[in-house]
Amino acid sequence: MALPVYYDKDIDLGVIQSLQVGIIGYGAQGEAQALNLRDSKVKTRIGLYQGSLSASKAKAEGFEVLEVKELVQNSDVIMALLPDELHKEVLEKEVIPFLKEGQIVGFAHGFSVHFNQVVLPKGMGVILVAPKGPGSALREEYLKNRGLYHLIAIEQESSKYNAKAVALSYAKAMGGGRMGVLETSFKEECESDLFGEQAVLCGGLEAIVRMGFETLIKAGYPEELAYFECVHEVKLVADLLHYKGVEGLRKHISNTAEFGAIKNREPMGNLLEKRMQKILKKIQNGSFAKDFLLEKSLNYPRLNTERKALKETKIEQIGEILRAPFNHKK
């Protein structure tokens, strides 16, 4: 099923330029989006809690910084660019009580809306504008007169504005129309994004990399070689995959590598498919969201333990040594 795609020529930038945008949060996404909006001549303010360490940075970059509730009262479009697990607390206390009829509340990820952590009153527009990349890439591509793909979705229509027109215009101001803005739903964006993170990009890739490294180490191979073959060269393959696709990747590797990949793809794929189906089901039925929010309520015990333990692993210790020349060049 092909998603509708919109480009700069299809989108009216004037829609978002005619509105006052308020961004809650000034982390990687908040900063990048605010700067891109400003450079697209969109009126933009930042909302932060009193005493926020990000306030001085936002002010230094020329933005007016308000407390969140004041920002809400003086904006047409409010973008909640906070960690997913903070949405419920912040929006219920600082946003929803101060909303006015027809305002639009936007998100960069569908988690809190899709899993009913945040329920906005009727008449308020609820939109998703999700750049497909981190804040650093969003800003860098914009400055190069390029952009990232963006996803938009409309969960709830505004009684005052056309929510879809606002979402498209906002995405264009981000540089999204230069590449393409695809229309989806909160459900599809949220579930596919979580699945990609858990099964492939973060969880899956890390598991394969670490398992490969440990397999070679246990078989007596030097740590340096294990790191090169199972970690370092991932970037080379990922870049080929990113720019040229699976077929292009195949064309740029040796016959030996291609034959080995084909020979082992099926047995590995059979094992992975079953696990991936379980991962997707837990995302779809809400059990992952429940587990994650419980983790947050307990102050992240598992995350903290895992982060501490990772520093002591062989893969990180040898990796730190081998990555040093690259970090030095930066």
In DSSP terms, 80 is beta-bridged to 24, 107
Does 242 participate in catalysis according to the annotation?
A: no
158 annotated to a ligand binding site: no
**What does the CA dihedral 302, 215, 244, 179 come to, rounded to 10 degrees?**
10
Cα separations in angstroms, 298 against 291, 295, 301: 11, 5, 7
142 annotated to a ligand binding site: no
Q: Are 295 and 302 in contact (CB under 8 A)?
A: yes
d(CA 215, CA 227): 11
Token pair for 257: 């590598």
Token pair for 256: 């030996």
- Which one of 87, 109, 114, 150 is the catalytic residue? 109
Q: In b/e form, how buried is each residue of 126-141, taking b as 16+ CB within 10 angstroms?
A: bbbbbbebebeebbeb
180 annotated to a ligand binding site: no
DSSP 40-109: TT-EEEEE--TT-TTHHHHHHTT--EE-HHHHHHT-SEEEE-S-GGGHHHHIIIIIGGG--TT-EEEESS
Q: Which residue has 């906070």 as its token pair?
A: 82
Is the Cα torsion angle 6, 47, 117, 159 positive or negative in sign? negative
27 annotated to a ligand binding site: yes
54 annotated to a ligand binding site: yes
183 annotated to a ligand binding site: no
∠ Cα 206 209 214 (to 5°):
120
28 annotated to a ligand binding site: yes
233 annotated to a ligand binding site: yes
312 annotated to a ligand binding site: no
157 annotated to a ligand binding site: no
40 annotated to a ligand binding site: no
Q: Which residue has 């509340």 as its token pair?
A: 105
Cα separations in angstroms, 183 against 39, 134, 241: 24, 19, 24
Q: Going edge to edge, which strands form the sheet with 20-24?
A: 5-6, 181-183, 150-156, 125-131, 104-107, 77-80, 20-24, 43-47, 65-66
> H helices of 144-233, where?
163-173, 176-179, 186-195, 203-218, 223-227
159 annotated to a ligand binding site: no
Q: Which residues are catalytic?
A: 109
**Residue positions in the annotated binding site?**
26-29, 52, 54, 135, 193, 197, 229, 233, 254
**Residue positions in the annotated binding site for Mg(2+)?**
193, 197, 229, 233
**Residue positions in the annotated binding site for NADP(+)?**
26-29, 52, 54, 135
**Residue positions in the annotated binding site for substrate?**
254
